[in-house]
Amino acid sequence: MENSPRIPLVVLGVTGGIGAYKACELARELMRRGMRVKTVMTDAAQKFVTPLTFRTLTGEDVGVSLWDDPTRHVHHISLAAEADVIVIAPCTANVIAKVAHGRADDLLTTTVLATEAPVVLAPAMNTHMWRDDATVANVAVLRDRGVLFVEPGSGELACGDVGEGRLADVIAIADTVEREVARTRALAGVRVVVTAGPTREPLDAVRFLGNRSSGRQGYAIAEEATRRGATVTLVSGPTTLPDPFGVTTIRVETAAQMLAAVDDEYGEADVVIAAAAVADFRPASTVAGKLKKAEAPEELALERTVDILASLGARKDGRVLVGFAAEAGDPVDSARVKLAAKNLDLIVANDVTEPGAGFEVRTNRVTFVSANGDEELPCMDKRAVARELLDRIETILKGGRR
């Protein structure tokens, strides 16, 4: 007998605002759409609606304190781990600020800080608070981190002012949550291999040829893929980044080592995303110790490294293959050539000389190049680029690929 699919769990955070009563409607709407709802309330929220209301509506215990029943699992960790999506509605300016700055002083904010699940915020506050520079800056910080916002509506507010700040329509919030829940399962059963970071091609025991890749883009892609339910292996060149949560990470140094690691995973892979900045050349000979300055040749002989993507494309066998084209100047023409020559489904092209794009920064400005045409994206956080890329890979997979 087959196991029934797990019902998705949404953690509903409720903060202190007059819109808290609408969170009751949101809980019911999410349940109508087939989701379990566990509610976490701040102290201020309980001044507007009682925990009993949500417990009655959802049939689930309501979290109100870090010091809930001490005989149970650490509550904020268990909630963070089991949530498919966390939505905070209404979300006050105070909670936006705390989440933006990593302040975790109650059950709700500690849960958000501990989770790997998508986070959706539906702000509600006075117009002047919403427009204040501090709130605008905090919202921008969270957007850059991949937090989703359901914009507040305009109209007459509880205080009598007229303008932006009303909690968004419950249906609009539920639609956003439902889309995010669907994303968390969109790649279930799909095996994804991601390469990231630079390679180092040794000249001697001390020196190497390499590049300035930080690995951030590839790591963001690996994290986003696992967040959508994929089984992800990350083959990483040398970086200072920690291993992504939920991802199997294999550390390598050289292009040859990266190819060997990818080859080991290739047989079971459905999707390969080659985001690594693989060195194109390596020294033709390597010295075991340190090459003395006085003994160094006037010219350094180089040889080409293996072309990992071309090797994979030659034995594609129905897999989805995605490459990157990092160029100095307009990268699109080069990307189109690589797309055909290497038998790829999609190339992410970017100009590494453009401010806010390329290596050693948290943002990127890319163009997706495929057989269907080119799609230029604005400058955005690399996590947002990863999200856009995985959306397109899902579309390719739905088209009947492996």
pLDDT for residue 94? 97
pLDDT for residue 402? 42
Under the banding of pLDDT at 50, 70 and 90, the label for residue 137 is very high
CA distances from 392 to 346, 348, 385 (A): 9, 11, 11
Buried b (16+ CB within 10 A) or exposed e, 89-109: bbbbbbbbbbbbeeebebbbb
Question: Quick check: 139 pLDDT over 80?
Answer: yes
Q: Where is the domain boundary, 185, 200, 219?
A: 185
Q: What is the token pair recorded at 363? A: 């943002």
* Residue reference for tokens 């970017």: 350
Inside any domain, residue 239: yes
Q: Where is the domain boundary, 155, 185, 215?
A: 185
Question: Quick check: 267 pLDDT over 90?
Answer: yes
Question: Quick check: 4 pLDDT over 60?
Answer: no
Q: What is the mean pLDDT of residues 245-254?
A: 95
Report the range of poorest mean pLDDT among 70-74, 229-233, 329-333: 70-74
Residue 159: active-site member: yes
pLDDT for residue 159? 67
Say whether both 217 and 292 belong to one domain.
Answer: yes
Query: What is the rounded CA–CA span in Å between residue 174 and residue 154?
Result: 19
Q: What is the mean pLDDT of residues 71-82?
A: 74
Say whether both 123 and 210 belong to one domain.
Answer: no
Q: In terms of C-beta density within 10 A (0-12 exposed, 13-18 middle, 19 or more buried), how is residue 245 classed?
A: exposed
Under the banding of pLDDT at 50, 70 and 90, the label for residue 73 is low
Say whether both 163 and 204 belong to one domain.
Answer: no
pLDDT for residue 401? 46
Q: Where is the domain boundary, 154, 185, 216?
A: 185
Under the banding of pLDDT at 50, 70 and 90, the label for residue 77 is confident
Residue 309 belongs to what domain range?
A: 191-398
Query: What is the rounded CA–CA span in Å between residue 279 and residue 258?
Result: 11
pLDDT for residue 2? 45
We report the CATH number of the domain holding residue 362 as 3.40.50.10300
Q: What is the pLDDT of residues 295-337, one digit of tens each?
A: 778 788 899 999 999 999 999 999 999 999 888 788 888 899 9
Average pLDDT of the residues of the chain: 91
Inside any domain, residue 99: yes
% residues pLDDT > 70 (the chain): 95
Q: What is the mean pLDDT of residues 230-251?
A: 96
Out of 24, 91, 159, 379, the active site residue is 159
pLDDT for residue 260? 97
**Do residues 339 and 370 lie in contact, with contact meaning Cβ atoms separated by under 8 Å?**
yes
Most confident listed range (114-118, 157-161, 173-177, 309-313): 173-177
Say whether both 268 and 342 belong to one domain.
Answer: yes
Q: What is the pLDDT of residues 186-210, one digit of tens each?
A: 999 999 999 999 999 998 888 898 8
The dihedral region occupied by 366, where left means phi > 0, alpha psi between -120 and 50, and beta the remainder, is: beta
* Residue reference for tokens 């997979």: 397
Say whether both 104 and 33 belong to one domain.
Answer: yes
Inside any domain, residue 1: no
Say whether both 251 and 171 belong to one domain.
Answer: no
What is the identity of the amino acid at 140? A
Q: What is the mean pLDDT of residues 349-378?
A: 87
Structurally, the chain folds into a number of domains equal to 2
Inside any domain, residue 126: yes
pTM: 0.85
What's the full length of the chain, in residues? 402
